Amino acid sequence: MVVCHALTGNSNIAQWWGFFLGAGLPFNTDKYYVVCANVLGSCYGSTGPKSVNPITNKLYGNDFPHVTIRDTVKVHLEMIKNEIGATSIASVIGGSMGGMQALEWCIIGKELVKSAIIIGCGSRHTAWQIAISETQRQAIYRDPKWNNGNVDMANPPVDGLEVARQIAMISYRTAASFDRKFNRDIDDKTGKYQVRKYLEYQGKKFISRFDPISYLKITEQLDSHDVGRDRGGVTTALSTITCPTLIIGIDSDVLYPLYEQEELAKYIPSSAYSVIQSTEGHDGFLLEQKVVGDCIQRFLDKQ
> Which of the residues are catalytic?
96, 253, 282
What is the rounded CA–CA span in Å between residue 133 and residue 41? 16
293 contacts 244 by C-beta, under 8 angstroms = no
Calculate the alpha carbon distances from 165 to 29, 32, 182 in Å: 33, 34, 18
Half-sphere exposure of 21 (CA within 13 A, CB side): 16
Calculate the alpha carbon distances from 197 to 184, 189, 191, 192, 201 in Å: 12, 11, 10, 7, 6
* 113 beta partners: 89
69 contacts 221 by C-beta, under 8 angstroms = yes
Half-sphere exposure of 128 (CA within 13 A, CB side): 9
Calculate the alpha carbon distances from 69 to 120, 202, 270 in Å: 16, 26, 23
What is the rounded CA–CA span in Å between residue 241 and residue 263? 14
Residues with Cβ within 8 Å of residue 46, at least 6 apart in sequence: 37, 38, 39, 40, 75
264 contacts 123 by C-beta, under 8 angstroms = yes
Question: Residue 194 class from Cβ within 10 Å (0-12 exposed, 13-18 middle, 19+ buried)?
Answer: middle
Calculate the alpha carbon distances from 44 to 6, 8, 69, 96 in Å: 13, 10, 17, 18
Q: What are the phi and psi torsion angles at 89 (to 5°)?
A: -120, 115
